[in-house]
Amino acid sequence: MEASCHFAATRAAILDLRAWLAEGGLPEADLAAWELALVEAANNAVKYADAAARQLPVLIELSVGERDVEARITDHTAAFDWPAEVNLPDADSESGRGLFLIKSLTDHAAYERHPGRNVLMLRRARTLPGREVSPDVNQLQNRLADAESALTDMTAELSSSYESLVALFRYSSELGAHADLKDFSQRLLKDLVLIAEADYAVLRLISPDGNKLETLLVLPAAGNAWLDSVDLADALVSVEAAAARNCEDVWFGPEEPLGKNDPLRAVMPAGIGICHAFFVAKQPVGTATLGRQQADKPFTAAQVNLLHTFVDFLAIQIVNARLLDERTVARVTRRELEIAADIQRSLLPSSIPACPPFEVAATCRSALQVGGDFYDIISAGDGALLLVIADVMGKGVPAALFAAVLRSTLRSMPQLFNQPGELLATANRILFPDLSRVDMFITAQVAYLDPRRQKIVTANAGHCPLLVFEPGALDAMALRESGFPLGIEPLSRYAQSETMLPSGGTALLYTDGLSETRNAADELLGEGQLRRMLAETAAQTCDADAGKQILLGRLADYCNHQPVNDDQTFILIRHIA
């Protein structure tokens, strides 16, 4: 094609050539490259033409081969040296990019000088259809399809995760307002059924004894099918028991049907299902089972994830609620024990009346605020004393209250102080109805200390024996005669014993917290060792108060000064020479 030697003409010619190349089936990328390369070549042919050359046309020849396209541009300029290397000019330069573009857009460029004319030869490989496409288009399409389906799955999972997240946040905020675990579980399970596109759900919790799965919820509730609890041992019968025992999800459906006697059949007679056992801190908490009527529509991985997420969240809430309950109970109990200890302390006599030639010292040490022990020392007239030591079976406020009642009851019968047996029998008759109603009883020992006759008159209602140590004896002796504790029999009778307490003699009334003191090896002190301790104490001092301190010290030594786990209460009586 020939074009007059000016820019507009060459430009128009090149547009025609472009159209011709397009008809030849060249792709757009090749067309654009040739358009620009030819424009740049023609520009030079025009730009450098002198007045004479302007009269001659610019010739552009194109040949399209199978593999490449060649162009020959003939100009009539004075020609120039085709540089070996073509570099981009400075960014600010307004010219000098033409050759660079030609070189960049073609694979080969050569400038031939001839007499009176110059020929620029350009060659560029054709972009063949499919050259840029991977030879294995099928493989690529398969990968694309895989990627798309993975993307669809991820989107589905993301949206279900989003739903579950939103739901869980809602539950968390609701939980503060409603502490009812069952109500909460029901709403959570309903949402789970909806989101996971299930038809049934069963939620069971491990029973407190850890042996059974007890039904908490069955959805839909309208089904009216209630499920009896399942023995965890029945793993062969019940998929729920199997899931809980083996710590794994169990799937069931047409290929792995529920056992003939599986209780779940009552709720899910057909279809498919999955049973998920849930744990907190590796402790099984319960099972959740989702069922779907359509057996040919298995649960997707995303739906199984939903089940796990929801139920594991629920498990934490269940365990938290239980811990909260336990802590509340513990707090109430602690407060109760503090009250009990206050009552117990208030019952103890603030001072001990003198009773020469006897000296009396007493202590009541409560172990960790547990209060069932008490003692009382009352003036009984004629210089005598009534000593009472008792242990109310049970702990806390009820035990302390009965201790108070016993104390008042005994104090209200001064006429019977010198008859301890009768005193206990009467007290038993008065207290029996109240004690038996709450299945409580009291062991007690009453001692009438008679200084005139230098005797101790005692009666015992199921309490530890009175220990008496006489100077010169090898061991203390124990007065074992005893009747029923108070509150066991309405008409119990109590034998009365009289024991001489000679000069230098020592007697001990105590509660079993003393003989049951344990050492580091967890061995009980026992009555025998307590008797020996008493004998040693008696040999060391003749002062009741000092004796009390020595005995306390020995007991502390025995248990290696660890806090004792039962009350330690005793009354020490000393006959001062």
489, two tokens = 């029999």
Question: What is the C-alpha to C-alpha distance for residues 410 and 349, in angstroms, rounded to an integer?
Answer: 14
Question: What is the C-alpha to C-alpha distance for residues 419 and 459, in angstroms, rounded to an integer?
Answer: 8
Judged by CB, which is closer to other proteins: 100, or 313?
100
Judged by CB, which is closer to other proteins: 31, or 321?
31
Question: What is the C-alpha to C-alpha distance for residues 467 and 391, in angstroms, rounded to an integer?
Answer: 17
Minimum CB separation of residue 94 from other proteins in Å reads 4
Burial of 543 (0-12, 13-18, 19+ CB in 10 A): middle
Please state the φ and ψ torsions of residue 298, each to the nearest 5 degrees: -65, 155
Minimum CB separation of residue 47 from other proteins in Å reads 7
Judged by CB, which is closer to other proteins: 31, or 125?
31
358-365 and 568-575: which strand pairing? antiparallel
Helix 28-47, helix 7-23: angle, nearest 10: 160
Judged by CB, which is closer to other proteins: 13, or 486?
13
Judged by CB, which is closer to other proteins: 29, or 145?
29
For 348-369, b where at least 16 C-beta lie within 10 A, e where not — what string? Answer: beeebeebeebbbbbbbbbeeb
- What lies within 8 Å, CB to CB, of 177 at 6+ separation is none
Nearest to 492 by CA among 418, 437, 447, 442: 442
Question: What is the C-alpha to C-alpha distance for residues 393 and 399, in angstroms, rounded to an integer?
Answer: 7
Distances (CA, A) of 364 to 349, 492, 514, 541: 11, 28, 11, 21
Minimum CB separation of residue 101 from other proteins in Å reads 6
Minimum CB separation of residue 114 from other proteins in Å reads 24
Minimum CB separation of residue 126 from other proteins in Å reads 18
Minimum CB separation of residue 173 from other proteins in Å reads 42
Judged by CB, which is closer to other proteins: 96, or 502?
96
Minimum CB separation of residue 35 from other proteins in Å reads 7
- What lies within 8 Å, CB to CB, of 21 at 6+ separation is 30, 31, 34, 62, 64, 69
DSSP H/E element including 194 = helix 181-195
| Site for other proteins, rule CB under 8 A | 6-8, 11, 32, 35-36, 39-40, 43, 46-47, 88, 91-98, 100-101, 104-105
For 110-138, b where at least 16 C-beta lie within 10 A, e where not — what string? Answer: ebeeeeeebebebbbebeeeeeeeeeeee
Minimum CB separation of residue 5 from other proteins in Å reads 12
Question: What is the C-alpha to C-alpha distance for residues 322 and 330, in angstroms, rounded to an integer?
Answer: 12
Judged by CB, which is closer to other proteins: 44, or 238?
44
DSSP assignment letter at 417: T
Judged by CB, which is closer to other proteins: 111, or 417?
111
Minimum CB separation of residue 243 from other proteins in Å reads 56
Judged by CB, which is closer to other proteins: 1, or 237?
1
Question: What is the C-alpha to C-alpha distance for residues 459 and 482, in angstroms, rounded to an integer?
Answer: 7
Minimum CB separation of residue 289 from other proteins in Å reads 54
Judged by CB, which is closer to other proteins: 8, or 22?
8
Question: What is the C-alpha to C-alpha distance for residues 70 and 37, in angstroms, rounded to an integer?
Answer: 12
- Outline where DSSP puts E strands in 266-349: 272-280, 283-292
Minimum CB separation of residue 12 from other proteins in Å reads 9
Would you tell me how many other CB atoms lie within 10 Å of the CB of residue 438? Answer: 11
Minimum CB separation of residue 280 from other proteins in Å reads 53
Minimum CB separation of residue 87 from other proteins in Å reads 11
Judged by CB, which is closer to other proteins: 15, or 179?
15
Tell me if the bond preceding 485 is cis, omega within 30° of 0.
no
Judged by CB, which is closer to other proteins: 37, or 538?
37
Q: State the Cα angle at 123 between 119 and 125, rounded to 5°.
A: 170
Nearest to 123 by CA among 34, 31, 24: 34
- Sheet bearing 68-75, strands edge to edge: 2-3, 58-64, 68-75, 117-125, 108-114
Minimum CB separation of residue 247 from other proteins in Å reads 56
Judged by CB, which is closer to other proteins: 120, or 285?
120
Question: What is the C-alpha to C-alpha distance for residues 231 and 444, in angstroms, rounded to an integer?
Answer: 47
Judged by CB, which is closer to other proteins: 8, or 140?
8
